[in-house]
């Protein structure tokens, strides 16, 4: 069945070794000096790209060490990446989806469908993925494992895994100062300092940002600091500590109708204005440690532990919800090289646990209502969860070119959800076991061409909060200010999918390329629907009838011309997405709303040897439906931008300026779907950014 109407629901060390060899000729008294040989180790980004090529599936590596464009949100970080949809709603809560993961989750909230890590340690917990700690200027790169390919990271979600890797003293030495500014009050200031002292490396940074926003009532600000400290205790033992702290606050302008998107996209939703909707996040702290031990030449062990606290103060409806969130997350990974059936083999064993220490909510009235004063206590509820994944995998070299990868993961999910005030007896305490086998293959046909494929199962449990926020059981009359609020949780099944993926990647006369196709049969897909708009906002989640996710992902980075006068290059990313019901009783084979079927990004760039560069870019997205009945769709769009800049020789400083959406095209960036709008133009879309001018400068002092 469809959504139920009764439950609406090291190392970037640039290691340069100069080996000076001299030889004394026995036949002649004169010494002969050979040329100096320079051997440069691969950067951490290159090493990461090489490591992901061993995965029998699609992946992306985004290098951010010398970013020369505005980096405001995760949407900027993940631009031009095939298979990845990343759109900003005008604040930091970017909507990121891979292969339809979290396809209809509203932006600006905890994200679903992708397991996100910081430096290999879990950020995503049972309640989803908070976004305030994902400051782009703190990153050296992002690693994306699309779909079931997140298996080796303990990520079993439909969309896969994203690992955001922090800058360290090994890739960011000295003092680094950066400033960005632009349209509508946008400013970002950042200062960082890093270095290496003997066996210790360190990097510390402070960043703050502010913006008025594109829509009215969309102002935001944030500030925070991070630290990355590594210690090579012995040649075989390394430990690394990570700390992130950040405060954010943003107004919530709300969603608009298609007519407003076309004619007045900077408007705010009147209901959001009337209640001064906003989302303060008073201070999130993430403290982690990762320790690696090279046991011997064949074996290694890595352990990680994270404490994460992230309180929120939601003022986005008629109710104020103060959330106390904290997690304790842990990882353990063992790797062993050995011989199996006479062939080289690598076996891995891993454990990933994410556990809610606190997930408690106090709810009060924001305004006087029905004779009750503002501040009146309406509810307390808790929604705790624990997700544990144990996995074993093996990579067997059938030949030097052909590798067979197998794996099996077991996942244990625990949920404990209850309304604690007014006290109710309905407490949901459940435990589910599930499994995820995986079979993959890579074939390096030539040094320039690799084929890959896998058949895998993914498992995604429901968030504990969705079991209460989407409940259809309410307090009746006689419960004072609590009347009409959800009083009891409802159970939800794990979302599972079986995915077949086939693809290839390589280098050719056209450039570096990749092409991937996938087909996923999804059961109990967790879909959301807006049941009631602001001011009494109510978005429910439920298990859907069977669905299909299928698509194509293609990327091509080409050098069109290169000579003494510079280089002209073109990078392109195309994603085709077809997500739909499988013979649903009500919606038949309707497409799932929330994402465009066709999405294309490209950039043409010229680099001059002196350090000057100029680029033109474009983005195309086809229309996307805004309701499950497919009765209304948001318009397709094409936007064009440009960028110029200068990188000083030696990397001492850089400056850039860019013009976004030159034609000031009005379009919907994200959609939060409804059930059946019956052709009516309902406010469901957030507008994409209009024409804007931005500039930035960065100085480095060693």
Which two three-digit tokens encode residue 573?
A: 């990313």
Instruction: Tell me what the mean pLDDT of segment 617-636 comes to.
Output: 97
Provide the pLDDT for residue 100.
94
CA–CA dist 503, 130 (Å, integer): 32
pLDDT, tens digit (0-9, with 9 covering 90-100), for 174-183: 999 999 999 9
Provide the pLDDT for residue 42.
67
Q: Reply yes or no: is the peptide bond before residue 250 cis, omega within 30 of 0.
A: no
Provide the pLDDT for residue 539.
80
- Closest Cα to residue 144, out of 208, 68, 204, 84? 84
CA–CA dist 112, 129 (Å, integer): 7
Tell me what the pLDDT averaged over the chain comes to.
91
**Position of tokens 């290691």?**
15
**Position of tokens 């076309």?**
262
Element (H, E) at 616: strand 612-621
Residue 132 has pLDDT above 70, yes or no: yes
CA–CA dist 630, 580 (Å, integer): 11
pLDDT, tens digit (0-9, with 9 covering 90-100), for 527-565: 988 877 888 777 888 999 999 999 999 999 999 999 999
CA–CA dist 616, 639 (Å, integer): 11
Of how many residues is the chain composed? 702
Q: Predicted confidence band at 115 (pLDDT cuts at 50, 70, 90)?
A: very high
CA–CA dist 554, 83 (Å, integer): 8
Instruction: Tell me what the mean pLDDT of segment 662-685 comes to.
Output: 95
Calculate the CA 54 to chain-centre distance: 22
Residue 512 has pLDDT above 60, yes or no: yes
DSSP 91-142: SS--EEEETTTTTTPPTTS-B-SSEEEETTEE--BTTBB--TT--GGGEEEE
Which two three-digit tokens encode residue 621?
A: 């997205």
Instruction: Tell me what the mean pLDDT of segment 223-233 comes to.
Output: 98
Q: Which residues lie below 8 Å from residue 217, measured CB to CB, with a gap of 6+? A: 251, 252, 253, 254, 268, 272, 273, 276, 277
Residue 12 has pLDDT above 50, yes or no: no
Pick from 30-39, 298-307, 568-577: least confident = 30-39
Q: Predicted confidence band at 9 (pLDDT cuts at 50, 70, 90)?
A: very low
Inter-residue contact 181 to 695 (CB < 8 Å): yes
Provide the pLDDT for residue 15.
29
Q: Are strands 160-166 and 115-118 parallel, antiparallel or unpaired?
A: parallel
CA–CA dist 482, 332 (Å, integer): 44
**Position of tokens 């599930």?**
434
Residue 362 has pLDDT above 50, yes or no: yes
Inter-residue contact 105 to 95 (CB < 8 Å): yes
Pick from 8-17, 108-117, 359-368, 467-476: least confident = 8-17
CA–CA dist 375, 369 (Å, integer): 10
CA distances in angstroms from 601 to 83, 207, 643, listed in the order given: 11, 29, 15
Strand partners, 397: 403
b (16+ CB within 10 A) / e for 1-25: ebbbeebbbbebeeeeeeeeeeeee
Q: Which residues lie below 8 Å from residue 509, measured CB to CB, with a gap of 6+? A: none
The DSSP secondary-structure symbol of 481 reads G
Residue 298 has pLDDT above 90, yes or no: yes
Q: What percent of the chain has pLDDT over 90?
A: 85
CA–CA dist 57, 151 (Å, integer): 11
The DSSP secondary-structure symbol of 272 reads H
Strand partners, 685: 256, 671
Residue 487 has pLDDT above 50, yes or no: yes
CA–CA dist 573, 621 (Å, integer): 12
Residue 30 has pLDDT above 60, yes or no: no
- Closest Cα to residue 316, out of 281, 283, 282, 279? 279
Q: Which residues lie below 8 Å from residue 86, measured CB to CB, with a gap of 6+? A: 74, 75, 77, 78, 79, 94, 95, 96, 97
Provide the pLDDT for residue 8.
36
Provide the pLDDT for residue 536.
79
Please compute Rg for the chain using Cα positions.
26
pLDDT, tens digit (0-9, with 9 covering 90-100), for 399-429: 999 999 999 999 999 999 999 999 999 999 9
DSSP 36-101: PEEEEPPPHHHHHHHHHTTSSS-EEEEE-TT--S---SHHHHTTT-TTEEEE--SSS--EEEETTT
CA–CA dist 43, 65 (Å, integer): 11
CA–CA dist 190, 700 (Å, integer): 12
pTM of the model: 0.92
């Amino acid at each position: 069945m469809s959504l139920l109407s009764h439950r609406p629901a090291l190392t970037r060390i640039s290691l340069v070794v100069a080996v000076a060899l001299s030889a004394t000729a026995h036949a002649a008294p004169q010494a002969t000096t050979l040329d100096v040989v320079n051997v440069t180790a691969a950067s951490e980004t290159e090493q990461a790209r090489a490591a992901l090529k061993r995965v029998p599936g699609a992946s992306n590596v985004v290098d951010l060490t010398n970013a020369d464009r505005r980096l405001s949100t995760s949407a900027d970080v993940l631009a031009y990446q095939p298979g990845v949809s990343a759109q900003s709603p005008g604040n930091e809560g970017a909507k990121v989806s891979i292969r339809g993961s979290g396809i209809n989750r509203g932006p600006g909230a905890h994200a679903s469908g992708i397991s996100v890590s910081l430096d290999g340690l879990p950020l995503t917990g049972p309640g989803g993925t908070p976004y305030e700690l994902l400051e782009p200027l703190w990153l050296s790169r992002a690693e994306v494992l699309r779909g079931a390919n997140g298996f080796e990271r303990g990520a079993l979600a439909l969309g896969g895994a994203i690992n955001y890797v922090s800058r360290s003293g090994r890739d960011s030495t000295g003092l680094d100062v950066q400033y960005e500014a632009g349209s509508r009050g946008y400013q970002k200031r950042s200062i960082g300092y890093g270095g290496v002292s003997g066996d210790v490396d360190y990097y510390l940074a402070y960043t703050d940002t502010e913006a008025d926003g594109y829509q009215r009532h969309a102002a935001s600000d944030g500030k925070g600091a991070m630290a990355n400290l590594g210690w090579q205790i012995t040649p075989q033992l390394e430990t690394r500590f990570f700390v992130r702290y950040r405060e954010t606050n943003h107004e919530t302008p709300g969603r608009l109708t298609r007519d407003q998107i076309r004619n007045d996209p900077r408007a705010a939703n009147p209901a959001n204005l009337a209640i001064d909707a906003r989302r303060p996040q008073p201070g999130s702290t993430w403290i982690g440690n990762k320790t690696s031990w090279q046991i011997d030449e064949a074996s290694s062990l890595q352990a990680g532990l994270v404490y994460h606290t992230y309180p929120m103060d939601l003022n986005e409806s008629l109710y104020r919800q103060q959330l106390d969130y904290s997690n304790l997350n842990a990882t353990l990974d063992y790797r062993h090289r050995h011989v199996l059936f006479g062939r080289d083999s690598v076996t891995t064993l891993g454990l990933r646990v994410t556990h809610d220490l606190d997930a408690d909510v106090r709810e009060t009235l924001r305004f006087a209502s029905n004779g009750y004063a503002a501040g009146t206590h309406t509810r307390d509820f808790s929604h705790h969860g624990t997700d544990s994944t144990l996995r074993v995998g093996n990579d067997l070299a059938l030949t030097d070119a052909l590798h067979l990868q197998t794996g099996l993961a077991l996942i244990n999910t625990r949920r404990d959800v209850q309304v604690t005030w007014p006290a109710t007896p309905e407490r949901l305490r459940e435990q589910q076991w599930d499994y995820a086998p995986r079979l993959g293959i890579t074939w390096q046909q030539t040094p320039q061409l690799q084929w890959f494929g896998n058949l895998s199962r993914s498992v995604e449990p429901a968030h504990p909060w969705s079991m209460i926020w989407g409940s259809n059981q309410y307090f009746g009359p006689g419960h004072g200010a609590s009347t009409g609020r959800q009083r009891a949780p409802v159970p939800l099944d794990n979302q599972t999918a079986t995915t077949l993926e086939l693809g290839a990647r390589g280098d050719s006369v056209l450039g570096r390329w990749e092409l991937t196709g996938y087909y996923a049969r999804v059961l109990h897909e967790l879909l959301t629907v807006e049941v009631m708009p602001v001011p009494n906002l109510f978005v429910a989640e439920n298990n859907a009838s069977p669905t299909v996710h299928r698509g194509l992902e293609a990327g091509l980075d080409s050098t069109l011309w290169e000579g003494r006068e510079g280089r002209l290059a073109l990078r392109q990313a195309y994603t085709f997405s077809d997500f739909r019901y499988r013979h649903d009783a009500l919606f038949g084979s309707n497409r799932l709303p929330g994402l465009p079927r066709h999405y294309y990004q490209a950039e043409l760039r010229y680099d001059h040897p002196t350090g000057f560069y100029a680029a033109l870019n474009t983005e195309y997205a086809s229309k996307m439906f805004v309701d499950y009945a497919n009765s209304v769709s948001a318009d397709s769009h094409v936007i064009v931008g440009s960028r110029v800049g200068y990188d000083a020789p030696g990397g001492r400083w850089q400056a850039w300026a860019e013009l976004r959406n030159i034609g000031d095209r009005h379009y919907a960036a994200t959609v939060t779907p409804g059930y059946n709008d019956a052709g009516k133009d309902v406010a469901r879309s957030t507008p994409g950014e209009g024409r804007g001018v931005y500039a930035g400068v960065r100085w480095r002092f060693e």
